[in-house]
Chain A
Amino acid sequence: MDWLNAIVQGVLLGGLYALFASGLSLIFGVMRLVNIAHGDLIVLAAYLALSTTLILGVHPFTAILVVIPLMALIGYVLQRGVLNHTLGDDILPPLLVTFGLSVFLQNALLEGYTADPQKLNVGSLETASVSVGELSIGLLPLSTFVVAIVVIVFLQWIFYHTALGRQFRAVSDNADIAQLMGLSKGHIFGLALALSLVVCGIAGILLGARTSFDPAVGSGRLIFAFEAVIIGGLGNLWGTLIGGIVLGVAQTIGGKINPGWQLLAGHVVFLLILAIRPRGFFPRVEH
């Protein structure tokens, strides 16, 4: 029963990792941009939520109404003002600039919020649980998992059933030709990062509700996001969810064997999968 419990907790944790990862996957899919600052942007969202709760005195989940538009705005301005200038045939400039952004964000957060660990207080939800047989499932991890699925369904819907998604795919296929259709590449990329940071906003709040965070935890979240994307296969959001679950289960089972092995087990499983299936489980098939 303990093992089953570890697996269930791992699956639910995987939902959070999928949330970390889907925003990363989205912008890579649209503009081949690897955003090294992704984890720090998630942490930024957690701090924005913290400030909102402190200033307005609202529940962290209500703060989402402030955090999401703010993150979307930051995303759009960041893309148009900075990142669009780094995109080109060379893949190095965007990596270096987002790496710099990561360093900048960590230090700005350190300056603004100090290194003290913070937490978003979501009240009784933190400890509430439902019993299924002998299993006890935390309501917060369960709702995080449900949110992850809702977010992925929403992103899939945007990508495959809306004009915006059509434009994302067209620009991703061939940006020059998409411009001939009147699409402004810079604007579309701006919207893509805005959408990615909206997901970061949701992920940041759920992260802050689940564990304590400080300005330095972003890079760890980035690694989990990368691993989930790679395990699932590039360009496939449902694959990313599976990747997150694989990673989450590996960590909880590793932690079950020996509490010190939790993170290590996740990385080892990731490396094993990379060795066996370098393109992940469900890479998007090019047609």
Chain B
Amino acid sequence: MSKVLLQTDSLNAFYGDFQALYDVDMSVCEGETIAIIGANGAGKSTLLRSIAGLIKTEPESVRFDGTAIGNWRADKIAKQGIALIPEGRQLFPSLSVEENLKLGSTVGRTGHWQLDTVYQLFPVLKERRTQPSTSLSGGQQQMVAIGRALMSNPEVLLFDEISLGLAPVIINTIYEQLPNIISQGATAIIIEQDVGRAMAAASRVYCLIEGRVKLEGSTHELTREQITEAYFGVAA
């Protein structure tokens, strides 16, 4: 097994007084893709937002490449090479497609991904590059969101709800491209409602329920029944 790149250690996260995560231990190795599954409100997005620095946590509860980053600001974490593709795309409405992509490169990390390579990945974006980003369809917006994150040439990609609200044909396109997206040396954590897709794309899964890790394991070893049980909290 290659070395652990990113890990959480007894991660607790709060929204004001409300605790959303309880002692979450999770790790992802260099080059690995893992999936986080769980029902709505289980804390999946909170986990990614905590890693990305949008939610402050105890310094030691998130470690990236050995460094404690739990209390770092989001922009500093982005510069270290962790990119979050947020739920609901969250493009900048005042910026065109190309400006959104360029903004991703503000982080200042160079590598494979630049405007050309992102346009090769999603050719439709090149045709639409001068349009306001929010005039695109949901799927195209998701492509912009992915491209914008890639422009920072991250080491770790965090996909929050990669396919939520998208047409199945678009989801297929994005999943077909997923190996190309991740193959550039990146490590990925994906949140996916569709357990089947999550199992196919990832090598390991974590199942969260009510802010706690209920089940963890390799996608080859876990059975459908185990996941269903963890997911719904009852034996199927």
A residues bordering B, Cβ < 8 Å?
A: 163, 166-167, 169-170, 172-174, 176-185, 286-287
Also in contact, A174 and B92, with CB within 8 A (given A166-B103, A182-B152): yes
Hey, which chain A residues are within 8 Å of B92, CB to CB? 169-170, 173-174, 177-178
Also in contact, A179 and B106, with CB within 8 A (given A166-B99, A169-B94, A173-B95): no
Give 28 A-B contacts (CB < 8 Å), ordered by A residue.
A166-B103, A167-B103, A167-B106, A169-B92, A169-B94, A169-B99, A170-B95, A172-B94, A173-B92, A174-B92, A176-B54, A177-B90, A177-B92, A179-B53, A179-B54, A179-B73, A179-B75, A179-B78, A180-B74, A180-B83, A181-B75, A181-B107, A182-B78, A182-B107, A183-B75, A184-B75, A287-B93, A287-B134
Residue B84 at the chain A interface, CB threshold 8 Å? yes
Also in contact, A286 and B73, with CB within 8 A (given A166-B103, A183-B106): no
**Chain B 88-102 interface 0/1 with A at a Cβ cutoff of 8 Å (1 = within):** 001011110001001
By the criterion CB–CB under 8 Å, are B54 and A286 in contact?
no
By the criterion CB–CB under 8 Å, are B132 and A287 in contact?
yes
Dominant SS among interface residues on chain A: helix
Tell me, rounded to whole Å, the shortest Cβ–Cβ distance linking A186 to chain B: 9
Of residues 99 through 133 on chain B, the ones whose CB sits less than 8 Å from some CB of chain A are: 99, 102-104, 106-108, 132
Hey, which chain B residues are within 8 Å of A178, CB to CB? 92, 103
> Which A-chain residue is minimally distant from B132 (CB atoms)?
A287
> Which B-chain residue is minimally distant from A165 (CB atoms)?
B99
Tell me, rounded to whole Å, the shortest Cβ–Cβ distance linking B73 to chain A: 7
Tell me, rounded to whole Å, the shortest Cβ–Cβ distance linking B88 to chain A: 10
Hey, which chain A residues are within 8 Å of B63, CB to CB? none
Residue B52 at the chain A interface, CB threshold 8 Å? yes
Hey, which chain A residues are within 8 Å of B107, CB to CB? 181-182
- Counting chain A CB atoms within 10 Å of each CB, which of B53, B75, B108 scores highest? B75
Hey, which chain A residues are within 8 Å of B106, CB to CB? 163, 167, 181-183
> Which B-chain residue is minimally distant from A159 (CB atoms)?
B94
Also in contact, A170 and B132, with CB within 8 A (given A177-B90, A179-B53, A180-B84): no
Q: How far is the CA of A180 from the CA of B152 in the complex (A)?
A: 10
Of residues 41 through 97 on chain B, the ones whose CB sits less than 8 Å from some CB of chain A are: 52-54, 73-75, 78-79, 83-84, 86, 90, 92-95
Residue B135 at the chain A interface, CB threshold 8 Å? yes
Residue B204 at the chain A interface, CB threshold 8 Å? no
Q: How far is the CA of A169 from the CA of B106 in the complex (A)?
A: 14
Hey, which chain A residues are within 8 Å of B103, CB to CB? 166-167, 170, 178, 181, 183
Q: How far is the CA of A181 from the CA of B92 in the complex (A)?
A: 11
Residue B148 at the chain A interface, CB threshold 8 Å? yes
Tell me, rounded to whole Å, the shortest Cβ–Cβ distance linking A175 to chain B: 10
New A-B contacts (12) at CB < 8 Å, excluding given A170-B94, A176-B54, A179-B78: A166-B102, A170-B95, A173-B95, A174-B92, A177-B90, A179-B73, A180-B86, A181-B103, A181-B104, A181-B152, A182-B107, A182-B152
Tell me, rounded to whole Å, the shortest Cβ–Cβ distance linking A120 to chain B: 38
Tell me, rounded to whole Å, the shortest Cβ–Cβ distance linking A108 to chain B: 34
Q: How far is the CA of A180 from the CA of B84 in the complex (A)?
A: 7
Q: How far is the CA of A277 from the CA of B92 in the complex (A)?
A: 28
Hey, which chain A residues are within 8 Å of B148, CB to CB? 181
Q: How far is the CA of A169 from the CA of B199 in the complex (A)?
A: 39
By the criterion CB–CB under 8 Å, are B93 and A286 in contact?
yes
Tell me, rounded to whole Å, the shortest Cβ–Cβ distance linking B12 to chain A: 21
Hey, which chain A residues are within 8 Å of B53, CB to CB? 179
Tell me, rounded to whole Å, the shortest Cβ–Cβ distance linking A216 to chain B: 38
Of the candidates B54, B73, B83, B95, the one whose C-beta lies within 8 Å of that of A166 is: B95
Tell me, rounded to whole Å, the shortest Cβ–Cβ distance linking B99 to chain A: 5
Hey, which chain B residues are within 8 Å of A169, CB to CB? 92, 94-95, 99
By the criterion CB–CB under 8 Å, are B108 and A287 in contact?
no
Q: How far is the CA of A152 from the CA of B54 in the complex (A)?
A: 35
- Counting chain A CB atoms within 10 Å of each CB, which of B83, B93, B134, B135 scores highest? B93
Tell me, rounded to whole Å, the shortest Cβ–Cβ distance linking B158 to chain A: 10
